[in-house]
């Protein structure tokens, strides 16, 4: 089946604009993660959903960042009033939720956001 | 989760084995060692994981020292397509939690 897909693949925004990044996880995957990857760095955790519930948002850098997954499948990461420091690749990952075992995270290709 | 330390880069010749080291001296008994890799412009990809025994799959082998304070990822016959950043990650058993990436090690496979 299809893997994790993200759209758009590239987004250029002017400083102060709002942006919305979409993630389509693998069908049936209960868990969904968002990560932010700055240039030359490893990905950093932003937030985690189990179905529609946002169980961990400890990595969101400010209240300008908001994520949702209203029906427990597609998720949207919204950034309000974008700043230059928000420029990064935003990665989405999904996984099953099997008790007691390792649940491999499958990553999408990411959305590269450039804020001018 | 325990922290990992990796050298920033290494290279190897195509067709030779690539041995990627990782130190995780503060690992606890309920933590696995995972390896992911990220090819340029792609998302990270799972490679392998282990607790204390050596593991092998179609992609790689994972050798974990007896004291579990370090491990080595082995790509037995590196190809140009194995050029990527490789991340060693420590994570609790049974957790469906976030992955904590470091900077990883950049492997360059030369022709």
Q: Which chain A residue's Cα is nearest to B98? A: A45
Output the pLDDT for position A45: 95
Q: Is B103 on the interface with A (CB under 8 A)?
A: yes
Contact B98 A33 (CB under 8 A): yes
Which phi-psi region, left, alpha or beta, contains residue B104 (left: φ > 0; alpha: ψ -120 to 50)? Answer: left
Sign for the pseudo-dihedral over CA of B50, B56, B62, B65: positive
Quote the tokens at residue B62: 């994972």
Cis peptide before A71 (omega within 30 of 0): no
Chain A: closest CA distance from residue B96 (Å): 6
CB-CB neighbours of A76 under 10 Å: 14
Q: Are strands A19-24 and A5-7 parallel, antiparallel or unpaired?
A: antiparallel
A40-47: long-range pairs with CB below 8 Å, 24+: A40/B103, A41/B103, A42/B85, A42/B87, A42/B101, A42/B102, A42/B103, A42/B104, A43/A91, A43/B44, A43/B99, A43/B101, A44/B101, A45/B98, A45/B99, A45/B100, A46/A77, A46/A90, A47/A77
Mean pLDDT of chain A: 94
Chain B neighbors of A43, CB-CB under 8 A: 44, 99, 101
pLDDT per residue over B20-43, tens digit each? 999 999 999 888 999 999 999 999
Distance between CA atoms of B67 and B65, rounded to whole angstroms? Answer: 5
Name the DSSP letter for residue A25.
P
pLDDT per residue over A56-113, tens digit each? 999 999 999 999 999 999 999 999 999 999 999 999 999 987 766 677 899 999 999 9
Q: Stretch A14-33: mean pLDDT, rounded?
A: 96
Q: How many helices (H) and strands (E) does chain A have?
A: 0, 11
Which residue ranges in chain B fall short of pLDDT 70?
1-2, 94-96
3 state SS of B84: strand
Tokens 């994972």 sit on residue: B62
Q: Is B81 on the interface with A (CB under 8 A)?
A: no
Q: Are A39 and A72 in contact (CB under 8 A)?
A: no
Across the interface, of A102, A106, A107, the residue whose CB is closest to B49 is A102
Contact B96 A44 (CB under 8 A): no
């Amino acid at each position: 089946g299809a893997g994790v897909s993200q759209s758009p693949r590239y987004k250029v925004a002017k400083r102060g604009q709002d942006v919305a990044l979409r993630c389509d996880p693998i069908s049936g995957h209960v868990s969904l993660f968002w990560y932010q990857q700055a240039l030359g760095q490893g990905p950093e955790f932003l937030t985690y959903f189990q179905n529609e519930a946002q169980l961990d948002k400890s990595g969101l850098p400010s209240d300008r960042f908001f994520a949702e997954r209203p029906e427990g499948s597609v998720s949207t990461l919204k950034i309000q009033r974008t700043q230059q420091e928000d420029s990064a690749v935003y990665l989405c990952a999904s996984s099953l939720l099997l008790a007691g075992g390792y649940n491999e995270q499958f990553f999408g290709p990411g959305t590269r956001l450039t804020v001018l | 989760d325990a922290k990992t330390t990796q050298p920033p880069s290494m290279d190897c010749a195509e067709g030779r084995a690539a041995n990627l080291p990782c130190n995780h001296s503060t690992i606890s008994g309920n933590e696995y060692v995972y390896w992911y890799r990220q090819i340029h412009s792609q998302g990270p990809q799972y490679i392998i994981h282990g607790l204390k025994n050596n593991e092998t799959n179609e992609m790689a082998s994972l050798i974990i020292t007896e004291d579990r304070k370090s491990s080595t990822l082995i790509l037995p016959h590196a190809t140009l397509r194995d050029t990527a950043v490789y991340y060693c990650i420590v994570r609790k058993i049974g957790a469906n939690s976030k992955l904590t990436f470091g900077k990883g090690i950049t492997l360059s496979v030369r022709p």
